[in-house]
């Protein structure tokens, strides 16, 4: 039983590893673009890729009025980056460059691979939990009449030990996918956001650009139309509303903390 469950999680995670980038962009509603349809965003990403000697990622527009961006992919050769329509409307050229440099930094530092693996694992465990609940409901929750009902009662008694095991497996899988997994993922994500800010600032040699973009996002951003906790850590800034309690479970550090660190970096290195 344990081997079968481990095999299920391994196969599901492997499939997710290769398909999750497109799935994440699909959850965000991303629309792939080229240099002719959206030259401003395309050229910004292209210039950053050329300056860093990185492969050109697939570029997306996210039809959302919130001010945000995201990056995902298992390695630089299979990377996807996206920016919301709200980000393109409100940012100046240097601010957009700062934000996209941050996203390219995630790709360069292989943060996107880590997030992709965690995304796949959490998805696999969540699918396992759902499978357990559906199996238990199918065996013990169905109602039949006559002879079929008698057979159903016999089958329920026969499958009772397996049902008990799956019940506890489902509870553990739910705890991991809903509470433990996101907590671990968000803790790692917060630290990698600081690193991506620093790496992106080194790419552009202009940390003030990223600081200015962060200020605008803090002042004018709104919650995205398509909210999904599984992809929250892939965005440039926290796509959910931020309160005192929510900060403990946030995938991103506070904007003030990020700006303070960039200000220190600007004084020390530029």
Residues recognised as catalytic: 103
Measured distance CA(16)–CA(109) in Å, rounded: 21
Task: Look at residues 202, 207, 239 and name the one whose alpha carbon lies nearest to residue 69.
Answer: 239
* Coil, strand or helix at 110: coil
Q: What are phi and psi of 110, to 5 degrees?
A: 60, 25
> 258: left (phi > 0), else alpha (psi -120 to 50), else beta?
alpha
User: How far apart, in whole angstroms, are the C-alpha atoms of residue 207 and residue 97?
Assistant: 11
Q: Please state, in angstroms and rounded to a whole number, the distance separating the CA atoms of residues 150 and 145.
A: 8
Q: Are 36 and 54 in contact (CB under 8 A)?
A: no
Distance CA 102, CA 123 (A): 26
Burial of 257 (0-12, 13-18, 19+ CB in 10 A): middle
Are the beta carbons of 75 and 55 closer than 8 angstroms?
no
E-state strands within 9-73: 31-32, 58-62, 69-73
Spatial separation of the C-alpha atoms in residues 254 and 221, rounded to whole Å: 14
The total of other beta-carbon atoms located within 10 Å of residue 218's CB is 16
CA pair distance 180, 172, nearest whole angstrom: 10
């Amino acid at each position: 039983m344990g081997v079968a469950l481990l095999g299920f999680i391994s196969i599901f995670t492997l499939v997710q590893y290769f398909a999750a980038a497109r799935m994440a962009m699909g959850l965000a509603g991303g629309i792939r673009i080229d240099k002719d349809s959206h030259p401003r965003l395309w050229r910004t990403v292209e210039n950053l890729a050329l300056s860093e000697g990185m492969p050109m990622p697939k570029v997306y527009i996210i039809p959302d009025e919130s001010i945000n961006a995201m990056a995902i992919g298992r390695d630089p050769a299979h990377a996807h980056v996206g920016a919301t329509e709200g980000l393109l409307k409100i940012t100046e050229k240097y601010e957009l460059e700062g934000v996209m440099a941050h996203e390219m930094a995630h790709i360069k530092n292989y943060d996107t691979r880590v997030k992709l693996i965690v995304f796949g694992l959490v998805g696999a465990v969540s699918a396992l939990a759902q499978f357990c609940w559906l199996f238990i409901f199918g065996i013990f929750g169905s109602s039949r009449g006559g002879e079929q009902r008698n057979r159903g009662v016999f089958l329920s008694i026969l499958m009772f030990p397996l049902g008990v095991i799956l019940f506890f497996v489902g509870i553990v899988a739910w705890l991991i996918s809903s509470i433990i997994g996101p907590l671990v993922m968000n803790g790692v994500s917060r630290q990698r956001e600081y690193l991506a800010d620093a790496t992106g600032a080194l790419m552009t040699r202009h940390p003030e650009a990223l600081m200015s973009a962060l200020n605008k996002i803090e002042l004018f951003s709104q919650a995205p139309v398509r909210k999904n906790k599984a992809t929250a850590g892939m965005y440039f800034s926290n796509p959910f509303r931020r309160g005192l309690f929510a900060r403990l479970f946030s995938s991103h550090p506070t904007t003030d903390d990020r700006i303070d660190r960039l200000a220190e970096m600007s004084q020390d290195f530029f």
